[in-house]
Every structure is written in structure tokens, then in C-alpha cells.
Amino acid sequence: MLNKDNVNRAEECLNIVFVDKELIKVALTHRSFAAEASDKVDVNERLEFLGDAVLEFVVTDFLFNHYPELEEGDLAMLRANIVNSDVLAKLAGNIGFGECILMGRGAEIAGGRRQTSILGDCLEAILGAVYLDQGIKRTKEFILGIFQEEIAKQASKEKYLDLKTNLQEYTMKKLKVLPLYRITREEGPVHKRAFFAEVSVGGNVWGKGKGKSKKRAEQEAAKKALLKLQKLHG
């Protein structure tokens, strides 16, 4: 298991002293270590599940109270730009606990201490451990302490409102394809026209939208597509 020096170093990186040291040990234990261990070892996946839920709640609560001008869809999009694997890995790297993660030799040789998924999952596991050890108030302080700069950065850009550009950048990065838009129909008199659009990615329709103009309909379709794709691919 992790020795005392590893635990102390992790606590220094996090600026948190755990009451239950076993929680931080488990939070830092990747499944690759258990696969190579001779004895049964608890890994961080359950804590990751808990930490993911706590993180989403804290960020949602913050956005809801600090951005009253944003509608539900825009809040969801802003949150998706903040709570995702890339941001988690970046913040985990900033904190610097990667060297404290307990992982198997194969994973370490493969560069596991720098892998986005391992770093992000471990950070979520740590959030779950902090919540169990110190409660929601301290966990909220910890989360906002490391996420607030990213929240301000994303909100000030307001990039999440340029949904077609956002979707295009996302699909090119994750799937190497461009989204395709199609106006499916128009309804109503000329002075009160309603347009309906859909967006396809990789041959499948991922979002549909309605608006007073073709652009608004496409933006709505892009918003829905991006939310679905980010849930699926991170």
C-alpha cells in the first residue's frame, strides 16, 4: 500500500489533512495496481463515482447562483465546458498529485501519470474522499478553490453561446469529422416564420432545433448535439 511519505506528499499537494488516511489511500489507488497485486486491494472507482456527483452538484449550485441571467440550456452548456475530462486532467496536473498515484507497472510505463483519464478520474475520487472525510462545506471550498478560475475563464469568453463553433471544434478534436446542418422545414406566415433544423455528426442526427431564424434553429440543434456528445465522449 501507499507509505506514509506518499500520503503526506498527497496531502501537501491538496492542502488537506485527512482524518481517515485510508480514504486518501484508496482515492489514489488505480485499478492497474490491484490487477498486479497479490492481495485484494480497494481501488478508487467507487470514490470516483461519488466525487463526480459531488463535483457536478457544487459547480451547478455555483453557476445557478452566480449567473442568474443564463437560461437552463446555457447553464448546462457552461457546466459541460467546465466539468469534463480535459479540464479535470489539467487541474489535476496543476495540483501535482500525479506522482502519488498508486498504479501498476504496465500503466506507469505507458505514461499513466500523465494520462488524461487517470488524472481526471483520480481527482474525482479525491473529491469523493474529501466529502466523506470532511463534509460538503469543506468539499465545496476545495472544489471552488481549484475550479473558480476555470469557471471565470469559460464564462468571460461566453464561447459556450457560440454553439456552432463550439460543436465544430469538439467534433473535430474528438471524432475528426465536421457537423452537417440541414433545415428540415419552415412553418408559419412570413412575418412570424419558424425554422426547424437538425445537425448530423458521422452520419447520425444528434440534435434538432427550432428558431425564428435559420441561424437560431441551427444554434439550438448544436446545443443539444454538444450536450449529448459530451455526455458520451467526455
Orientation angle between helical segments 72-82 and 45-66, nearest 10 degrees: 130
For 42: left if phi > 0, alpha if psi spans -120 to 50, otherwise beta; the answer is: beta
Fold of 162-233: Double Stranded RNA Binding Domain (3.30.160)
State the burial class of residue 116 (Cβ atoms within 10 Å of its Cβ: 0-12, 13-18, 19+). Answer: middle
What pLDDT digit, counting tens, does each position of 87-99 carry? 999 999 899 887 8
Whole-angstrom distance, CA of residue 117 vs CA of residue 105: 17
What ranges do the domains of the chain cover?
Answer: 4-157, 162-233
Show which residues are catalytic: 52, 124
Q: Is the pLDDT of residue 194 over 60?
A: yes
Tens digits of residue pLDDT in 67-111 = 887 777 778 888 888 998 889 999 998 998 878 888 777 777 777
- CATH code given to domain 4-157: 1.10.1520.10
Q: What is the CA radius of gyration of the chain?
A: 21
